[in-house]
């Protein structure tokens, strides 16, 4: 392949005139990206791995002492950390399930010949394009107990969405569902429109009812792409920070990234927070791996 | 099993008219072939009988009942499509069971497995039952899709060019199999194709469709030997019927621009075949023969050797004429030959309308 590309370099081209080989050109394109990745991703990743074994505090001039696995041991034995994980898990489940139900449902509604389908789809995608901070700020207004439009429309008087400890996490999840259902919808719509129409006709001829057709034809064919949407959304929901941070500051909404943020930048336990970040990373990797395994199984079937 | 009738069916898609005033009558247990070029409206007709498409005008009757308000499921038809439409991700067995499984008309398990086994045996796909459908060859897929039709014992089988995606050998084999299957089941079949060989070899009756109209309905023999107009004459048969302009003078066919003539005793007996009227003479290639001392001289323009026979293209003046001769006939290109025709087999068409005079009468 590489040699084939080399030989096709036009000898009259300007690059050739400057004496650049194909290899040089290739490097010109690739090296900046690699440098960027190393400086901003790989290096901090490894550097923080080093810190996670120390008692380093970025706020103090004291040198870092190597403490071995102490940070990890303490974190994994800390019941507060586990409660943060439990909150995160609850949040991930509520929000991803909600997004799949709403997103896939809307996709099913849109997957037919309706007027203005294109415009409608574009409008439905809007929430996804807004910035997290903006969404957080205006949902805070919508949820406001005294003048918020949500209570006004639902006739809930002064129901406390965000300052009620039992409700706050769900309120954050609802906002997340509003914002990211369009993403699930978009992917589902792609999957749904890829189901050949003649299969539905064959099923109609075979006298299959609409439920039977849905579960035996539509769902199995859309499952792989729906799975991909779920993987993306789970990963995102697991590391949610901005929405929860902006909307509320309840202890019941302290998802793991908020805990991490506080530990790193308010309590300045840099070494410890690096260890926690690594624990989160490993968890996300593990969950994603389970999904990918399952995805491959779905695809194979 | 059922008797199907279409009455004065028209179908429009926007500004495009797919079918105009279509009448069709398919008897119970008949193998009816709808023959036509791509875009003639064959598939639309089929889909209307299946209930996947609604006619703009006219009525569809199944066993004498107007089925306008019936959905595809209630009509109880089976449809085999060119693209097979097997359900992906399922095995052959699951595909065959699919139409029997819906909860509402759920059959007992024993009955299901019995029917699947019988269908698999009939189509010789027993060894494939546990295979995924994407691991099948084209011919196997088509068998499975036919199998899915027969497990249900529907009232009518509708087949939309089921063989046209297969290679020639397989097509031939499945052609015979389908015909046998139909006789075995005694079922009503409506088979759509653009392949006139399929139509001739399988159909009890053939309907020729052209631009959304039925041009002629009849047995393959009638269609072949007595085509209703020049369209049918040139569409059915390979090579097609020779069509030559000319007129009748004293029991002779005088080819007008070409200046050759052939005897046609009794030609004037066909009603309307008056002397001097502009006509088109139709003659099948197998009814043109080479003979020393035959009335017309031509040159051999081209020879196509088909093994059992040779198809010659003869050149008379500027006109080309096809003749089927035995394979042992020794001819070379540009060799002058003399030919005649079998006057009993000549079909006369009106020049302006293209209608067969025997049909016009």
A205 with B89: Cβ contact below 8 A = no
CATH classification (class only), B4-225: alpha beta
**More confident of the two residues A2 and A177:** A177
| Confidence at A172, pLDDT banded by 50, 70, 90 | very high
Provide the domain limits for residue A267: 72-300
| Confidence at A1, pLDDT banded by 50, 70, 90 | very low
pLDDT value at residue A2: 44
When pLDDT is averaged across residues A264-292 and rounded to a whole number, the result is 92
- Any domain includes A155: yes
Whether the CB-CB separation of B230 and B317 falls below 8 Å is answered with no
Residue A194: list chain B partners with CB under 8 A: none
Mutate to test the interface with B, among A191, A203, A207 (most CBs of B within 10 A): A207
B99 with A208: Cβ contact below 8 A = yes
pLDDT value at residue A137: 93
Angle value at C-alpha B142, between B140 and B148, nearest 5 degrees:
105
Q: What is the CATH number of domain B242-360?
A: 2.40.50.140
- Any domain includes A15: no
Whether the CB-CB separation of B283 and B242 falls below 8 Å is answered with yes
| Confidence at A64, pLDDT banded by 50, 70, 90 | confident
**Closest chain A CA to residue B96:** A206
pLDDT tens per residue across all 361 residues of chain B: 688 999 999 998 888 888 988 899 999 999 999 999 888 889 899 999 998 888 999 999 999 889 888 888 888 888 888 888 888 888 999 999 888 887 666 788 888 899 899 888 888 888 999 998 888 888 888 889 988 988 888 889 999 988 887 788 878 888 888 888 888 888 899 999 998 888 998 999 999 999 888 999 999 999 999 999 999 999 998 889 999 888 888 888 888 766 788 888 776 666 666 777 888 999 999 999 888 888 888 999 999 998 889 999 999 888 889 999 998 888 889 999 999 998 888 888 988 888 888 876 5
For residue A17, is pLDDT > 80? no
- Any domain includes A182: yes
Residue B103: list chain A partners with CB under 8 A: 209, 212
Domain borders along chain B are 4-225, 242-360
Whether the CB-CB separation of B237 and B243 falls below 8 Å is answered with no
**Which residues lie below 8 Å from residue A193, measured CB to CB, with a gap of 6+?**
A111
**More confident of the two residues B272 and A246:** A246
**Which residues lie below 8 Å from residue A174, measured CB to CB, with a gap of 6+?**
A98
Instruction: Provide φ and ψ at B66, rounded to 5°.
Output: -70, 120
- Any domain includes A39: no
**Closest chain A CA to residue B150:** A206
DSSP notation for A211-251:
HHHIIIIIHHHHHHHHHHHHHHHHHHHHT--HHHHHH---G
Q: What is the ipTM of this complex?
A: 0.75
B87 with A207: Cβ contact below 8 A = no
Scan residues 210-249 of A and list those with Cβ closer than 8 Å to B.
212, 216-217, 220-221
B81 with A202: Cβ contact below 8 A = yes
pLDDT value at residue A8: 54
**Closest chain A CA to residue B131:** A301
The domain total for chain A is 1
pLDDT value at residue A10: 63
For residue A145, is pLDDT > 90? no
B87 with A199: Cβ contact below 8 A = yes
Question: What does DSSP assign to residue B358?
Answer: H
pLDDT value at residue A12: 66
Residues facing B192 on adjacent strands: B34, B160
- Any domain includes A222: yes
Query: Which class for A185: exposed (0-12), middle (13-18), buried (19 or more C-beta within 10 A)?
Result: buried
Question: For chains A and B, what is the number of CB pairs under 8 angstroms?
Answer: 62
Q: Does A194 touch chain B (CB under 8 A)?
A: no
- Which of A292, A282, A228, A230 lies closest to A256, judged by CA? A282
For residue A13, is pLDDT > 80? no
Residue A206: list chain B partners with CB under 8 A: 98-99, 102, 148, 152
**Closest chain B CA to residue A217:** B87
A132: domain CATH number is: 1.10.3720.10
Residue A220: list chain B partners with CB under 8 A: 88-89
- Any domain includes A78: yes
**Which residues lie below 8 Å from residue A275, measured CB to CB, with a gap of 6+?**
A52, A53, A71, A72, A75
pLDDT > 70: what percent of chain A? 94
Residue B148: list chain A partners with CB under 8 A: 202, 206
pTM: 0.75
**d(Cα B160, Cα B50) in Å, to the nearest integer?**
11
Whether the CB-CB separation of B107 and B124 falls below 8 Å is answered with no
């Amino acid at each position: 392949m590489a040699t084939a590309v080399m030989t096709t370099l036009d000898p009259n081209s300007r690059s050739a005139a400057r004496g650049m080989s194909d290899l040089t050109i290739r490097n010109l394109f690739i090296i900046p990206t690699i440098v960027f990745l190393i400086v901003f991703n790989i290096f901090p990743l490894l550097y923080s791995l080093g810190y996670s074994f120390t008692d380093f505090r970025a706020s103090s001039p004291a040198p870092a002492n190597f403490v071995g696995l102490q940070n990890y041991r303490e974190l994994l034995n800390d019941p507060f950390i586990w409660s943060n994980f439990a909150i995160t898990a609850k949040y991930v489940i509520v929000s991803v399930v909600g997004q799949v139900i709403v997103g896939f449902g809307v996709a099913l509604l849109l997957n037919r010949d309706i007027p203005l389908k294109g415009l409608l789809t574009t409008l439905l995608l809007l929430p996804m394009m807004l910035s997290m901070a903006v969404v957080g700020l205006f949902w805070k207004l919508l949820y406001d107990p005294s003048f918020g439009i949500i209570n006004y429309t639902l006739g809930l008087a002064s129901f406390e969405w965000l300052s009620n400890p039992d409700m706050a996490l769900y309120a954050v999840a609802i906002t997340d569902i509003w914002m990211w259902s369009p993403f699930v919808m978009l992917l589902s719509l792609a999957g749904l429109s890829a189901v050949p129409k003649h299969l539905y006709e064959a099923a109609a001829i075979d006298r299959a009812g609409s439920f039977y057709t849905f579960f035996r034809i539509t769902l199995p064919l859309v499952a792989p792409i729906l799975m991909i949407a779920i993987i993306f959304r789970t990963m995102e929901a697991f590391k949610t920070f901005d929405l929860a941070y902006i909307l509320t500051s309840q202890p019941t909404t302290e998802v793991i990234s908020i805990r991490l943020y506080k530990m790193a930048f308010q309590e300045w336990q840099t070494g410890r927070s690096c260890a926690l970040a690594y624990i989160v990373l490993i968890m996300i990797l593990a969950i994603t791996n389970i999904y990918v395994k399952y995805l491959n199984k779905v695809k194979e079937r | 099993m059922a008797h199907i009738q279409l009455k004065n069916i028209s179908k429009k898609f926007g500004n495009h008219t797919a079918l105009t005033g279509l009448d069709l009558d398919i008897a119970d247990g008949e193998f009816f072939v709808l023959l036509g070029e791509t875009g003639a409206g064959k598939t639309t007709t089929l889909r209307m009988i299946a209930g996947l498409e609604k006619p703009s005008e006219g009525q569809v009757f199944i066993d004498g009942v107007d089925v306008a308000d019936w959905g595809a499921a209630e009509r109880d038809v089976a449809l085999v499509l060119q693209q097979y439409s097997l359900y992906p991700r399922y095995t052959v067995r699951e595909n065959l069971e699919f139409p029997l499984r819906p909860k509402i008309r759920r059959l007992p398990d024993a009955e299901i497995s019995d029917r699947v086994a019988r269908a698999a045996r009939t189509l010789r796909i027993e060894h494939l039952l546990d295979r995924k459908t994407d691991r099948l060859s084209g011919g196997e897929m088509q068998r499975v899709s036919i199998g899915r039709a027969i497990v249900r014992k529907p009232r009518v089988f509708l087949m939309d060019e089921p063989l046209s995606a297969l290679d020639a050998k397989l097509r031939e084999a499945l052609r015979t199999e389908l015909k046998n299957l139909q006789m075995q089941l005694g079922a009503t079949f409506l088979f759509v194709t653009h392949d006139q060989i399929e139509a001739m070899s399988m159909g009890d009756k053939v309907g020729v469709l052209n631009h959304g109209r039925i041009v002629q309905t009849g047995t393959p023999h009638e269609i072949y030997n007595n085509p209703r107009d020049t369209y049918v004459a040139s569409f059915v048969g390979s090579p097609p019927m020779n069509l030559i302009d000319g007129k009748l003078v004293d029991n002779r066919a005088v080819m007008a621009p070409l200046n050759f003539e052939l005897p046609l005793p009794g030609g004037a007996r066909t009603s309307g075949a008056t002397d001097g009227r502009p006509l088109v003479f139709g003659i099948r290639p197998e009814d043109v023969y080479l003979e020393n001392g035959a009335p017309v001289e031509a040159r051999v323009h081209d020879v196509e050797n088909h093994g059992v026979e040779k198809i010659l293209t003869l050149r008379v003046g500027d006109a080309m004429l096809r003749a089927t001769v035995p394979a042992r006939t020794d001819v070379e290109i540009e060799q002058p030959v003399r030919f005649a025709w079998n006057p009993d087999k000549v079909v006369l068409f009106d020049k302006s309308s293209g209608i067969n005079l025997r049909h016009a009468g």
